[in-house]
Structure 1
């Protein structure tokens, strides 16, 4: 019976088995680090991060005049005060309208412009992209005077429409760049195949490209919503009537030169933060996927 001997391992193979790969080397180095050197800095960072949130909850939930470091007995008087006496119900409604309208307008215009940047070549495309990038270095305060004059001539002062337009203009350059990056990640051959099957460009976009852009659209839309929800400058400049103001301006009215109602201010801050936290809690998976897909190949 003849048996064939296995070939002797080469020097390279032997060296490869003897030396761990990069991933195993990193894992071994990670295992050799004492755990306290990792968790102690993280715990300190987490402590300093959570202290402000606890401080806000403390002032919002403990009774007026109390100096206890534990919010017990809890009270909801500060929330009731800001919601009814301080007109936070109106501010909340105005912020929702402004945020949702800015989300829809920014996403729709950025989707059209981003598709043009991703799929078409035209003269001046590179300078236009450079202009979009450079516009991000312009602070919003420089836009206040020209925007105010434009809105005054259009009779849009003390109208939520002025804030929505300003937020859309301010958010549009970055949103168009992100949407263009998302669309470039969709293979162009998919649209061509749809055209061969008889679809128009618009129908191919709606049936093929648009469903694949869902993570990117959620990322851009959520970013526009949060910016419009938290932005203070435009709402303060263009809205002077109390029934038209948003939550950031409403929080500013709780502070005066003589005194500050800390309980009402903390309760108003929680009211302003909870919707944003809830939104991000639901869309965090889509948000991370959308920004990562737009940053790889765009």
Structure 2
């Protein structure tokens, strides 16, 4: 009987039936994606192109003067001691940190209120306001230097760190408001309405329901504001003339002389300037990517 079934095709030995997902010839299917080398080779080249300048900067920062070694050994900390103590980089670092933290706080608070208003309220001129925010991103900061200088001069804020903080906050707000507005639109309004039914005011519902869900967006906006204010050179150069009020980007510029450049000191100053930014991105990269993608897509 078994032989008859085999002849009729009703019973086929398992060895004769090809398993699902296998074929007689091993190979990559059309949906398997490109080979691994086509992914890792471009990424490796890009990583090499990105890291070589940083390695070169670190090499000059720790290599003794006159050395031509391509390895950071023997290492020396003389360049760091020189820029931190003799070139006042300790003061520059403190000023940059104050400007960065203050810009972060102001930008986040103002952008949070503006983004919530754009996301939850419908008012006349809302679309025109959004268009104005977008168009303001095309205005370079250099065009605003003279008006800002006149304003700060009348307010007696020249040579004050607050002039840089206010300038950085103003130029960070349009993008920050747009990002947070898009992120808030992705939060269901029914959650706030449920809190209102339970007796919460709009403000209390915002702090209890909306704000905890805005963590990725707040991290994205705050980190972007901090990094931009930390690296920005133009406003600090124009509004701060006293050495004890200058920031790290301006301090790096003072290391470049008219006839010569101290490469070791300049590289050490660059390492000092890069370390806080690297630490910030190392800790917040997950929330940063989530916040930017949510703020740009949702709504």
TM-score by length of 2: 0.89
d(CA) in 2 for partners of 1:189 and 1:25? 44
**Aligned position for 1:140:** 141
d(CA) in 2 for partners of 1:134 and 1:127? 10
d(CA) in 2 for partners of 1:38 and 1:128? 43
Q: Deviations over 1:121-176 (max 9, x none)?
A: 11111011000000000001011000000000000000000000000000001100
d(CA) in 2 for partners of 1:161 and 1:42? 42
Shift in Å, 1:293:
1.6
**Aligned position for 2:62:** 61
Which segments of structure 1 move beyond 4 Å, counting only runs of 4 or more? Answer: none
Structure of higher CA gyration radius:
2
| 2:31 is the alignment partner of 1:26 | yes
**Aligned position for 1:238:** 239
**8 Å contact 2:217–2:291 — kept in the other structure?**
yes
| 2:193 is the alignment partner of 1:188 | no
Shift in Å, 1:45:
2.4
d(CA) in 2 for partners of 1:70 and 1:225? 33
Shift in Å, 1:288:
1.1
**Aligned position for 1:14:** none
**Aligned position for 2:209:** 208
d(CA) in 2 for partners of 1:62 and 1:268? 14
| 2:121 is the alignment partner of 1:123 | no
The alignment covers a number of residue pairs equal to 273
Q: Deviations over 1:69-127 (max 9, x none)?
A: 22221000000000000000000000000000000000000001111100111111101
d(CA) in 2 for partners of 1:120 and 1:91? 43
Does 78-87 or 285-294 show the bigger shift?
Answer: 285-294
Change (3 A) 1:86 1:131: same
Q: How does 1:144-293 map to 2 (within 5 A)?
A: 144-293=145-294
d(CA) in 2 for partners of 1:222 and 1:116? 22
Shift in Å, 1:49:
1.7
Shift in Å, 1:51:
1.3
Change (3 A) 1:40 1:215: closer
d(CA) in 2 for partners of 1:215 and 1:68? 44
**Aligned position for 1:89:** 90
CA RMSD of aligned residues (A): 1.4
SS of alignment partner, residue 73 of structure 1: coil
SS of alignment partner, residue 97 of structure 2: helix
d(CA) in 2 for partners of 1:133 and 1:54? 38
d(CA) in 2 for partners of 1:222 and 1:47? 26
Gaps of 5+ in 2: 1-19, 22-28
SS of alignment partner, residue 271 of structure 2: helix
Gaps of 5+ in 1: 1-16, 19-23
Change (3 A) 1:178 1:36: closer
**Aligned position for 1:294:** 295
